[in-house]
Chains A and B, each alone.
Chain A
Amino acid sequence: MIKAILIDDEPLAISVVKEYLGNHEEVEVVAECNDGFQALKAIAEHKPDLLFLDVQMPKISGLELLELLDEVPMIIFTTAFEKHAIKAFEANAVDYLLKPFSQDRFDEAMNRLATRQGGQQMEVQRLMSTQQVNRIVLKDSGRIRILPLSEISVLEADDDYVKIKTKDGAFLKKATLSHYESSLPEKQFVRVHRSFLLNVQFITRIDPYEKTSHVAVLTSGERVPVSRSGYQRLKEVLGI
């Protein structure tokens, strides 16, 4: 038996999937969710094997939801319109169904599921980097936090994690700094150092430090080291 959760903010969209699943007795629907928060709870409770997931949803998107999961089940995306990311989705999910889809197309996705079961490697970060990011969503001691980019001053590499600093404190997220370097807006976040990604809006001044490097002083008073190549990148973005 395959345990599945259906996630879509439109009840009718869920009912189509349920109807099409009528031909697939091996799948059991354990929960239906209309937003990412409900889905997160349901996933923790049921530990499903498969998600039918809409990408555009209230509060947190389908992709942000995946980022919050420790273990990502198999995914079949169902969405109306994605200009850029179709290739990446196809490579990283069982399938990608464009609404409205037919029973035949749906059955094809289920066939793919049968052949890929167990062996799927979901690269959520690869998917995220195809999307335009304007905030970071993470779990902080059981709570979900949404951090708008305008509130993030520094991202710092910390082993397997990235430490994200805001005025409300620092948060850890399992990711790499290069992932954020490539997905965050490059005019706003500059890799000033091997271990630091800096939001230029928080810089108050840049002081020389020792012979060849610099240090950026932030509005909070925090000092962030700037390497020689980091200084070049910073100068380019700031236009100095």
Chain B
Amino acid sequence: MSVSINVSRWHLIQFATLGLLWCGFYSTMLETVFELPWQSALIESLIVNAEIALLAFVSYKGIVYYRPSKDRFWFYVGVVIALGVLAVFIFGSILGLLSGTEYMNTESFEKHALIHGGVAFLIHAAVAGFAILKNDLKESGSVQKRQEESERMAREAELLKLRHQLQPHFLFNSLNSINALISVKPEQARSMIHQLSAFLRGTLKADDVKTIDLHSELEYMQLYLDIEKVRFGHRLKTRIEGEESCEKATLPALLLQPLMENAIKFGLYGTTGEVEIVMKAQVHEGMLIIQVVNPIDEDADSQSGTGFGLTSIRRRLQLIYGRNDLLETERTKNTFKATIKIPQSS
């Protein structure tokens, strides 16, 4: 707050200095051109310039406040001429009031009026031009700001949508499993409700701006895995290996669970036997590299393994890091491998 006051006070000092200099110059001009005593010239200069400054101040504030369209050229010309005429008229009135005092001489009024009017016209024209320019700058500034704001909001909305894309199959089938457990294993039903709630809560509170540490993200993914193991325990095995190098690694939240979900979906639906899904994490050259391998059915057509899950992960990485090359996939005869790379800020 104090800074802004200082700045405006500084501006005031600058304006006042310039105004006094201008008044001095103007009175010297009057003194030379009309051969007046310097006292008369100085008084006249102060009177004229004070009223010009006052009118200029009013017209400047008016234009900045009402923002008339800048295409209305004749409107501005009219205003400027009117202000010039007004300046001369006021000067005439003041001169009338002062006539008879020591340094004031009414006789020179007509010659002087022409000069004063011209000067007033030029100054008011410059002030109006400056006000229009300022309006312009302000407008383009706010347009740009609005545009940036709306782009940022669109990006955030998209990220939010991508994070919240919960597979309805997962939710309804989990509820169905709970329904089954309630009568035979009520304790397990209860713990599954808690896992499912913690999982759902996690999808809601995550945030894209902050990255979280790998350990928390793996914990969150484990909630999901625990639920899937209740559903498919008889055939789902997972192995998660993290090298020591990634102890301090960070990544955007809710990235690993969809990666795992994709692998489980295509691993489990592609085959009928036991399925092992392997996730490996390491940090290499400033990148956290996470690799997920799932088995696939060798008869499956080339489309399987590239579900919506991966498209959404790719899009998120693109929105967050502005890069397209952070998700790679590789398919062999009976495995599918997805690798994501997360830049680490050291």
Contacts and interface: CB of A to CB of B under 8 A. Distances in A.
B197 interface: no
Contact of B272 (A11, A37, A135): A37
B301 A135 contact: yes
Nearest to A145: B299
B168 A81 contact: yes
Nearest to B235: A34
How many of chain A's residues touch chain B, expressed as a range?
A: 20 to 34
Given A10-B231, A81-B169, A100 B301 contact: no
Interface string B164-181: 000011001101111111
Contacts of A58: 268-272
B239 interface: no
Contacts of B204: none
Nearest to A81: B168
A240 to B, nearest CB: 27
A15 interface: yes
Given A12-B176, A12-B177, A80-B173, A134 B303 contact: yes
Chain B interface residue bracket vs A? 20 to 34
A13 B297 CA distance: 24
Kindly name the residue among A9, A11, A58, A149 whose own CB sees the greatest number of chain B CB atoms within 10 A.
Answer: A58
A131 interface: no
B81 interface: no
Contacts of B268: 9, 58
B102 to A, nearest CB: 97
A100 B169 contact: no
B170 to A, nearest CB: 9
Interface of A: 9-13, 15-16, 19, 34-35, 37-38, 56-59, 80-81, 98-100, 134-135, 146, 148-151
30 contacts: A9-B268, A10-B177, A12-B181, A12-B231, A13-B176, A15-B180, A15-B184, A16-B176, A34-B234, A34-B272, A35-B272, A37-B272, A38-B272, A56-B269, A57-B269, A58-B268, A58-B269, A58-B270, A58-B271, A58-B272, A80-B176, A81-B169, A98-B172, A99-B172, A99-B176, A100-B172, A100-B179, A148-B299, A148-B300, A151-B301
